[in-house]
């Protein structure tokens, strides 16, 4: 395994930043270029990139990361309620608190590995969810979700200025966090998050984590105590989740308990695997696909389908609507489920493997070793 | 005292369901090494066998409903009732127990098809990939059920004669107020007999012996020239049938809906882990244990001390067991333990 | 582009705000006084467009998908009628009515749909798509109070009106009420008030009640409201027990009822929880018990047809309340049921009814205001009195945006003639009996202009 040169990494970062920042433009023809979905892409991108640091590098499959996302969201909203509508303290508190929670849960859960680790994290997340939904309602506002109110104390803000007539909204020194400005804020954080993740992947620390994945026993025999490394990775990914949670609350100031349900943790697992575990870009592709399905596919109805098929003769259009309508709108889950099955059967390395295969088709010379490490490294190791 | 007795019964009853579901899951994990996230969907499909059978029995003739005048409305008259009168009614009434006969072949076919068509390609793949593919499959299965039956739960009542309660208090000289629904008692008996049959099958037949040997050491059994793969296919079918039957018999207690499998999925994994991965006896014991613990945790006396304990007791037990005794209650030493 | 929102999703207001924001960026944390640009530009102003879009955000996946499907049918029907297609449904009976059957303010009505998944996050994401991408002027939908409240506060933030579908919690028009949210459906408080006299007549004043309550906000508000009523009748409350959402098997909560000395069980559950808890309570023989010399009774304060279908024959003889039922014989109901029945082949549910009515009410308010400008439309809806929509004379109370109208007390039909005839009307409780002062729940509506 070779670590790509710093120069190459910087080149990747440059392209990556350009692609992310131009998203509003190139996603528009796909019907996904509106602020809310763009924000969701960036936020879940951060979540998945962070998750990949744990799962992709160490192979530890956590089913509890949604809990950290939830902790981040609640912390951010409380910071808005109690201190200030400025997003910086909210984000800071969220990341720190979710890091602490991750450290506690990680410390306990990392005593076990494999499926036991998964069940431990799952159990913790479910406890968080159940408690947040019912008993902890004074803190979380239960089913309704934690919301801002005009009468909140907001100590710092109220010291500086009079409260307005309406609900204030989160901002960064006057930049609004809804709409496109909110997206660019999230996008910048995503780029930073991606950069950190890239540095971790290509650092000696990252190499050690990968070594744990391929053979933990061997690592232990060579004198390494693996747990501090694992715990560090766990806490980092927990902080990423906390950041994502804080951004969710920032762009849309409401925190609900469903964010912590095990299915929400499952979603990030699916995103990561779908895109390509252990690859840098893969999880982001997974995020794109799942969020696109959830927001765009689910909104297609017969009216929209008829419009899409309007170029066809009437009878054919009607027939096509009948055939396709079970897969869109209320049937979007069906399409997504089928997609999981197909991808994992034919492309075990996720979409990244598929892209790699396509790339190799067009390339006569043997694949670039760096590319190979990035794309197929993990799979190779599994097989070895 | 009566209250505690009733809670024990509740726990056993719940435990019976948990044990049946976990039994299939651990069987598949122990033999095939597959983490099957579609296992909950099998439970759901079983319950829908009973719905389908009921729908088949009540295929109806549309009769114009004259009581509704402002638009054309129809009411339904099952053919069975038209043809056989009261006998037809009785058959429809007994649809849930009768659908066991329907569910066995159907679930076996589903199980075999699933294993041959998809699961067997994943024996050598990572657990993460197994989870993704079986989770995808579970979603597809439940969406198909939703497309055909809707999202609302569908009532599948038990036969009329079991609809009341058994006066067990009076029988055993306890209070008159200790009563328990007949159907739940039947479910408990059913769970015990199915669990018993599975154990007998695995312990008393040559087939079972080979399967157990395969669970211990697959390679050696393979080297002995025994076709383990084919037997494992059958084991998967068996697991599907056991889980499906659990669903069939549970349908009068919990009107089936397309999502019920997911609701039981996490729970069944917890049961398997608490019992010990791949341990059949452990799954059964853990099923009953968790059922009873959950019932006790729901008692008002306990909830008033620790609010919300009934919502998290299962997970607390799981965390405790995994940390203190990672191989589970009955897990073999060295299996999945570290 | 004048004041029309361009396809980018940037309205002029947004750009101005952003520009203002950057110039003010040097200042310490500041709030936007959002009314600063208080001309008649507003989010998604259709301008000279020939069409307007409405957003229908209903659960399409998850436990309430069937209810969502029925709501969507009603919305489509309403759009048809607004555009002058079909027989017009309640547009024949609504009084006063300003709709002309040519869309709203002469613009043809189009719609977009979305899936709330019965989750606050998903619902808000879907609603924001409708607002930011599709440019809807109003969105609507329901099935869970938490989701409705989450969408309602989004509506206030974005300045787009939300017409609630099915939501029954007191909080929707109580402590979480919003200027941009309107509820036609009734609430737990009204259920309690309506049940009072019927319970007194049917079960007397000396009863001991045991509550099983879904452990989240809607359950709690209902428990509180029903308890208030029953204790007012002189009933004793033996115990109130919280059950986790989606418990599935409720046996461990039901057996303690057997020996508690209670003679009434009140199930504050909705949807799947209610189907399961009722089915299991009946299996435990509660309905056959005689306690304190009285027949044991079960009450389900909030009924819906889908719940009745799911619980099957267990529902027979059990009391509860609904907002509306298709068997009502008034002109508005008959017109709506006829129109819906001819379109889809079966009668509408109460969820469908409230969604249909809400769509018409919004459209009518726009006609009355002569503009789509939300503050004006809101002012028309506030205090609007109307009739012929199936519930008798109805008023949208200005103080909390709650509709006040008759409430139906229903009983599970002992001899249903069809699968839609599962509930029978026991009494239509007149509006005067279910009214309460708006001040009791607190909360504030917030400003007109956002």
Does any CB of chain B come closer than 8 Å to the CB of residue A277? yes
pLDDT band at C26 (very low <50, low <70, confident <90, very high): very low
* Domain residue ranges of chain C, discontinuous segments joined by +: 51-186+326-404, 189-322
Q: Which helix (H) or strand (E) holds B181?
A: strand B180-181
- Among C320, C298, C307, CA closest to C192: C320
Give the residue among A212, A236, A194, A243 at the shortest CA–CA distance from A57.
A212
pLDDT value, residue A164: 66
Q: Is a pLDDT exceeding 60 seen at residue A15?
A: yes
In a domain, B338, yes or no: no
Contact A127 B315 (CB under 8 A): yes
pLDDT on residue C259: 82
Q: Between A226-251 and A204-214, two packed helices, what is the crossing angle to 10 degrees?
A: 110
pLDDT band at A208 (very low <50, low <70, confident <90, very high): confident
Determine the pLDDT at residue C1: 35
- In chain B, the number of structural domains is 1
Whether B164 is covered by a domain: the verdict is yes
The pLDDT, as a whole number, for residue A320 is 79
Against chain B, the chains showing at least 3 CB pairs within 8 Å are A, C
Full DSSP string of B106-125 = HHHHHHHHHHHHTGGGGTTS
Q: Residues B114, B240: contact at Cβ < 8 Å?
A: yes
Closest CA to A240 of A95, A60, A61, A121: A95
Q: What is the pTM of this model?
A: 0.86
Q: Considering only CB atoms, which chain C residues are within 8 Å of A137?
A: 216-217
Residue B91 belongs to some domain of the structure: yes
Instruction: Give domain status of residue B333, yes or no.
Output: no
Give domain status of residue A239, yes or no: yes
On whether the CB atoms of residues A117 and B336 are closer than 8 A, the answer is no
The pLDDT of residue B70 is 57
Distance from CA of A249 to the nearest CA of C (A): 10
Q: What mean pLDDT, rounded, does chain C reach? A: 86
Mutate to test the interface with C, among A36, A82, A143, A298 (most CBs of C within 10 A): A143
Confidence of residue C6 (pLDDT cuts 50, 70, 90): very low
CATH of span C189-322: 3.40.50.2300
Q: Please tell me whether the peptide bond between C96 and the residue prior to it is cis, using omega within 30 degrees of 0.
A: yes
Choose the weakest-confidence range: A242-251, B214-223, C220-229. Answer: B214-223
When mean pLDDT is compared across A46-50, A98-102, C14-18, C214-218, the lowest value belongs to: C14-18
The pLDDT value recorded for residue B72 is 62
C443's enclosing H/E stretch is none
Please enumerate in sequence order all residues whose Cβ is within 8 A of that of B136, keeping only pairs 6 or more positions apart, or say none.
Answer: A336, A337, A338, A339, A340, A341, A344
pLDDT on residue B66? 67
Of A112, A336, A382, which has the smallest distance from its Cβ to B322's Cβ?
A112
Q: Find which of C38, C133, C188, C213 to mutate to test the A interface (most A CBs within 10 Å of its CB).
A: C133
The predicted model gives C77-98 an average pLDDT of 91
Q: Locate the chain C residue with the closest alpha carbon to B76.
A: C418
CA geometry: angle at C319 spanning C314 and C324, to 5°?
Answer: 105
Alpha-carbon gap: A183 to the closest alpha carbon of chain B (Å): 30
d(CA A96, CA C100): 59
- Chain B residues closer than 8 Å to A119 by CB: 269-270, 273, 318, 322
Residues of A in contact with B125 (CB under 8 A): 348
Q: Who among C215, C248, C417 is closest to B254 (CB)?
A: C248
Q: Is residue A74 part of a domain?
A: yes
B213 Cβ under 8 Å from any chain A Cβ: no
Q: Is there a contact between A180 and C121 if contact means CB atoms under 8 Å apart? A: no
Q: Please tell me the predicted confidence (pLDDT) of residue C93.
A: 92
By C-alpha distance, the chain B residue nearest A277 is B128
Mean pLDDT, residues C247-269: 89
Q: Which residue of A has its CA nearest to C150?
A: A144
Rounded CA-CA distance B302/B309 in Å is 8
Average of pLDDT values for A135-161? 81
| Contact list, B277 vs chain A (CB under 8 Å) | 115
Query: To probe the interface with A, which of B26, B28, B36, B143 has the most A CB atoms within 10 Å?
Result: B143
**Domain assignment present for A347:** no
CB B36 within 8 A of CB B22: no
Residues facing residue C112 across a β-bridge: C55
Length of chain A: 384
pLDDT score for B114: 92
More confident site: A369 or B30 = B30
Task: Report yes or no on A302 lying in a domain.
Answer: no
pLDDT at C408 over 60: yes
Instruction: Decide: B107 and B246 in contact? Cβ < 8 Å.
Output: no
Chain-chain contact of A340 with B121 (C-beta, under 8 angstroms)? no
d(CA A105, CA C127): 35
Query: Which residues 109-148 on chain B approach chain C with CB closer than 8 angstroms?
Result: 146
Closest to B199 measured CA to CA, from B270, B283, B290, B103 = B283
Task: Give the distance, in angstroms, between the CA of residue C264 and the centroid of all CA atoms in the same chain.
Answer: 27
Contact C28 A145 (CB under 8 A): no
Q: How many domains, in total, are found in chain A? A: 1
C contact residues 38-57, partner A, Cβ 8 Å cutoff: none
Phi-psi region of C106 (alpha: psi -120 to 50; beta: other; left: phi over 0): left
- A366 pLDDT band, cuts 50/70/90, is low
CA distance A237 to A69: 10
HEC sequence for A309-378: CCCCCHHHHHHHHHHHHHHCHHHHHHHHHHHHHHHHHHCCCHHHHHHHHHHHHCCCCCCCHHHHHHHHHH
Q: Per 3-state DSSP, what percentage of chain A is helix, strand, and coil (rounded to 5)?
A: 75, 0, 25
Question: Which residues are bridge partners to C242 per DSSP?
Answer: C213
Q: How far lies C93's CA from each of B150, C88, C99, in Å?
A: 33, 9, 12
Task: Please say whether the dihedral angle defined by the alpha carbons of residues A129, A131, A134 and A136, taken in this order, is positive or negative.
Answer: negative
Confidence at residue B102, expressed as pLDDT on a 0 to 100 scale: 93
B254 assigned to some structural domain: yes
Residue C366 has pLDDT above 90, yes or no: yes
A115/B118 Cβ within 8 A = no
Chain C contacts of B68, Cβ < 8 Å? 347, 418
Say what the pLDDT of residue B167 is. 82
Residue B318 lies in a domain: yes
Residue C19 has pLDDT above 50, yes or no: no
Is a pLDDT exceeding 70 seen at residue C147?
yes
The angle at the Cα of A258, spanning A292 to A117, to the nearest 5 degrees, equals 95
Is B118's Cβ below 8 Å from some Cβ in A? yes
C396 has which bridge partners? Answer: C403
- pLDDT of B176 strictly over 80: no
Report CA A50 to chain centroid distance, whole Å.
7
* pLDDT score of A165 more than 70: no
**pLDDT (mean) for A54-62:** 90
Chain A residues within an 8 Å CB radius of C153: 147, 254
- How far does CA A295 lie from the centroid of its chain? 16
**Exposed, middle or buried by CB within 10 Å (0-12, 13-18, 19+), for B230?**
exposed
Mean pLDDT of B292-300: 88
pLDDT at position C420 is: 79
User: How large is the average pLDDT for residues C329-353?
Assistant: 91
Spatial distance between the Cα atoms of B235 and B336, rounded to a whole number of angstroms: 21
C51-186+326-404 and C189-322 agree in CATH topology: yes
Q: Are residues B179 and C285, on separate chains, in Cβ contact within 8 Å?
A: yes
Q: Please report, for residues B69, B165, C283, the alpha-carbon distance to residue C288 in angstroms, rounded to integers and kept in the order given.
A: 36, 10, 10
Check residue B141 and give its pLDDT. Answer: 93
CA A382 to chain centre: 24
Chain A residues touching residue B270 (CB < 8 angstroms): 119, 123
Minimum distance, in Å, between the CA of residue C313 and any CA atom of chain B: 8
In a domain, B215, yes or no: yes
Cα B308–B311–B314 angle (5° rounding)?
Answer: 130
Least confident range of A187-191, A299-303, B277-281, C253-257? A299-303
As to burial, measured by CB atoms within 10 angstroms (0-12 exposed, 13-18 middle, 19+ buried), residue B5 is middle
Chain A's closest residue to B338, CA to CA, is A112
Average per-residue pLDDT in chain B?
Answer: 85
d(CA C189, CA C173): 11
Furthest CA-CA distance within chain C: 77
**Of A132-141, C49-58, C440-449, where does the model show the most confidence?**
C49-58
CA A47, distance to chain mean position in Å, is: 3
Percent of chain A with pLDDT over 70: 93
Chain B residues lying within 8 Å of A123, measured CB to CB: 270, 315-316, 318-319
- Which of C27, C110, C217 is opposite residue A144, by nearest beta carbon? C217
- φ, ψ of residue A222 in degrees (nearest 5): -80, 5
Asked if B71 contacts C346 with a C-beta cutoff of 8 angstroms, the reply is no
User: Which CATH number goes with the domain that contains B277?
Assistant: 1.10.3470
**Distance in Å, alpha carbon of B258 to nearest chain C alpha carbon:** 9
Strand partners, B249: none
Given this model, what pLDDT does residue A2 score?
A: 62
Predicted local confidence at residue B73, as pLDDT: 63
Model pLDDT for residues C160-207, shown as the tens digit of each residue: 999 999 999 999 999 889 999 999 999 999 999 999 899 999 998 899
From chain B, the residues in CB contact with A55 under 8 A are 128
pLDDT at res. B110: 95
State the pLDDT confidence band at B65, using cuts at 50, 70 and 90. low
Closest chain A residue to C34, measured at CA: A166
Give the domain extent around B28: 2-324
Kindly tell me if the per-residue pLDDT of C142 is higher than 90: no
Instruction: Collect all residues with Cβ–Cβ distance below 8 Å to C397 and sequence separation of at least 6.
Output: C383, C403, C404, C438
Partner residue facing B153 (CB), from C242, C310, C338: C310
Are B236 and B119 in contact, with CB atoms under 8 Å apart?
Answer: yes
Give residue B71's pLDDT: 61
Average pLDDT over residues B141-166: 88
- Taking an 8 Å cut-off on Cβ atoms, the answer to whether C132 and A163 are in contact is no
Residue range B200-212, pLDDT digits in tens: 998 899 888 888 8
C51-186+326-404: which CATH topology?
Answer: Rossmann fold (3.40.50)
Instruction: Say if B134 falls within a structural domain.
Output: yes
- Buried/exposed code over A208-241 (b: 16+ C-beta within 10 A; e: otherwise): bbbbbbeebeebeeeeeebeebbbbbbbbbbbbb
DSSP-assigned beta bridge partners for residue C208: C236
Q: Is A384 exposed, middle or buried (0-12, 13-18, 19+ CB in 10 A)?
A: exposed
């Amino acid at each position: 395994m070779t670590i790509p040169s710093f120069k190459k990494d910087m080149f990747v970062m440059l392209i990556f930043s350009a692609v992310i920042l131009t998203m509003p433009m190139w996603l528009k023809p796909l019907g996904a270029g509106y602020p809310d979905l763009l924000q969701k892409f960036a936020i879940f991108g951060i979540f998945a990139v962070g998750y990949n640091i744990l799962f992709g590098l160490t192979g530890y499959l956590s089913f509890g990361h949604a809990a950290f996302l939830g902790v981040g969201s609640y912390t951010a909203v409380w910071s808005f309620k109690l201190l200030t509508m400025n997003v910086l303290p909210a984000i800071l508190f969220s990341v720190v608190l979710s890091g602490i929670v991750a450290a506690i849960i990680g410390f306990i859960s990392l005593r076990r590995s494999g499926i036991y680790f998964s069940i431990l994290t799952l159990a913790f997340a479910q406890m968080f969810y159940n408690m947040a939904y019912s008993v902890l309602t004074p803190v979380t506002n239960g089913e309704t979700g934690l919301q801002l109110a005009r009468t909140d104390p907001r100590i710092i803000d109220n010291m500086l200025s009079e409260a307005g007539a309406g609900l204030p909204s989160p901002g960064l020194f006057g930049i609004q966090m809804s709409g496109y400005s909110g997206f660019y804020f999230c996008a910048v954080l995503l780029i930073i998050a991606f950069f950190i993740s890239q540095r971790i992947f290509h650092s000696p620390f990252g190499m050690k984590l990968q070594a744990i994945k391929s053979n933990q026993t061997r690592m232990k025999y060579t004198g390494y105590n693996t747990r501090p490394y694992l715990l560090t990775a766990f806490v980092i990914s927990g902080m990423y989740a906390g950041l994502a949670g804080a951004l969710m609350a920032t762009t849309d100031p409401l925190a609900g308990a469903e964010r912590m349900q095990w299915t929400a943790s499952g979603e990030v697992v699916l995103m990561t695997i779908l895109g390509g575990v252990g690859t840098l870009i893969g999880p982001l592709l997974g995020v794109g696909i799942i969020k696109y399905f959830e927001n765009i596919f689910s909104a297609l109805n017969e009216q929209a389908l008829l419009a899409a098929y309007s170029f066809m003769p009437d009878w054919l259009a009607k027939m096509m609507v009948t055939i396709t309508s079970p897969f869109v709108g209320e049937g979007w889950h069906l399409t997504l489920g089928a997609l999981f099955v197909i991808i994992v059967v034919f492309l075990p390395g996720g979409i990244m493997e598929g892209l790699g295969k396509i790339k190799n088709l067009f390339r006569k010379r043997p694949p670039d070793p760096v590319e190979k490490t990035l794309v197929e490294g993990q799979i190779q190791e599994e097989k070895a | 005292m009566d209250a505690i007795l009733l809670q024990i019964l509740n726990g056993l009853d719940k435990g019976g369901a948990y044990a049946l579901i976990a039994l299939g899951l651990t069987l598949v994990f122990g033999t095939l090494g597959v983490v099957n996230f579609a296992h909950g969907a099998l439970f759901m499909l079983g319950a829908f066998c009973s719905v389908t059978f009921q729908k088949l029995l009540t295929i109806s003739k549309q009769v114009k409903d004259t009581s509704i005048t402002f638009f054309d409305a129809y009411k339904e008259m099952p053919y069975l009732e038209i043809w056989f009168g009261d006998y037809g009614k009785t058959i429809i009434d007994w649809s849930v127990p009768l659908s066991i006969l329907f569910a066995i072949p159907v679930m076996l076919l589903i199980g075999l098809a699933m294993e041959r068509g998809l699961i067997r390609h994943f024996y050598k793949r990572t657990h993460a990939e197994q989870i993704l593919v079986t989770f995808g499959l579970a979603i597809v299965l439940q969406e198909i059920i939703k497309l055909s039956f809707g999202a609302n739960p569908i009532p599948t009542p038990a036969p009329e004669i079991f609809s009341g309660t058994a006066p067990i208090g009076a029988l055993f000289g306890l209070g008159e107020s200790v009563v328990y629904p007949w159907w739940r008692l039947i479910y408990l008996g059913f769970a015990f007999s199915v669990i018993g049959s599975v154990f007998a099958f695995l312990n008393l037949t040559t087939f079972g012996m080979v399967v157990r040997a395969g669970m211990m050491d697959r390679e050696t059994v393979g080297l002995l020239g025994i076709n383990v793969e084919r037997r494992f296919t059958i084991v998967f079918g068996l697991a599907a049938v056991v889980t499906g039957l659990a669903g069939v018999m549970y349908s009068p207690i919990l009107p089936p809906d397309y999502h019920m499998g997911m609701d039981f999925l996490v729970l069944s994994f917890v049961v398997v882990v608490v019992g010990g991965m791949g341990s059949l006896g452990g799954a059964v014991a853990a099923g009953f244990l968790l059922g009873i613990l959950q019932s006790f945790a729901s008692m008002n006396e306990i909830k008033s001390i620790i609010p919300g304990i009934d919502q998290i007791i299962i997970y607390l037990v799981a965390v405790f067991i995994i940390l203190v005794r990672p191989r589970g209650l009955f897990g073999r030493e060295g299996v999945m333990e570290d | 582009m004048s004041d029309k929102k361009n396809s980018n999703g940037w309205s002029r207001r947004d750009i101005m705000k952003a520009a203002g924001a950057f110039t003010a960026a040097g200042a310490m944390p500041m709030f936007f006084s959002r009314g600063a640009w208080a001309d008649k530009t507003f989010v998604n102003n259709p301008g000279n467009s020939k069409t307007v879009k409405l957003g229908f955000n209903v659960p399409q996946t998850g436990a309430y998908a069937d209810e969502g499907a029925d709501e969507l049918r009603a919305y489509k029907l309403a759009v048809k009628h607004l555009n002058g297609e079909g027989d017009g449904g309640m547009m024949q009976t609504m009084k006063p009515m300003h709709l002309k059957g040519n869309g709203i303010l002469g613009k043809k009505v189009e719609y977009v749909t979305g899936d709330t998944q019965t989750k606050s996050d998903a619902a808000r994401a879907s609603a924001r798509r409708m607002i930011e991408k599709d440019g809807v002027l109003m969105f609507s939908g329901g099935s869970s109070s938490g989701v409705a409240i989450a969408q309602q506060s989004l509506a206030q933030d974005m300045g787009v009106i939300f017409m609630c579908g099915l939501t029954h919690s007191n909080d929707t028009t109580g402590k979480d009420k919003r200027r941009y949210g309107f509820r036609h459906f009734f609430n737990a408080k009204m259920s309690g008030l309506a049940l009072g006299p019927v319970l007194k007549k049917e079960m007397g004043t000396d009863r001991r009640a045991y509550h099983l309550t879904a452990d989240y906000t809607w359950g709690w508000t209902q428990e509180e409201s029903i308890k208030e009523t029953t204790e007012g009748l002189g009933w004793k409350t033996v115990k109130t027990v919280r059950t986790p959402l989606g418990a599935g098997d409720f046996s461990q909560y039901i057996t303690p009822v057997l020996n508690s000395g209670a003679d009434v069980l009140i199930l504050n559950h909705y949807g799947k929880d209610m189907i399961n808890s009722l089915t299991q309570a009946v299996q435990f023989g509660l309905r056959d018990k005689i306690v304190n010399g009285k027949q044991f009774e079960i009450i389900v304060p909030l009924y819906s047809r889908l719940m009745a279908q799911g619980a099957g024959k267990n529902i027979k003889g059990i009391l509860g309340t609904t907002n509306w039922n298709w068997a009502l014989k008034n002109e508005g109901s008959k017109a709506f049921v006829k129109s819906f029945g001819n379109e889809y082949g079966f009668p509408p549910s109460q969820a469908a009814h409230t969604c249909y009515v809400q769509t018409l009410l919004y459209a009518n308010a726009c006609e009355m205001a002569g503009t789509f400008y939300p503050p004006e439309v809101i002012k028309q809806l506030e205090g609007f009195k109307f009739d012929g929509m199936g519930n008798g004379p109805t008023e949208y109370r200005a103080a909390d945006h709650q509709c006040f109208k008759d409430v139906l007390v229903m009983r599970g039909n002992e001899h249903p003639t069809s699968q839609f005839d599962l509930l029978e009307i026991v009494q239509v409780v007149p509006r005067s009996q279910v009214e309460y002062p708006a001040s009791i729940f607190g909360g504030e509506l917030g400003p007109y202009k956002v």
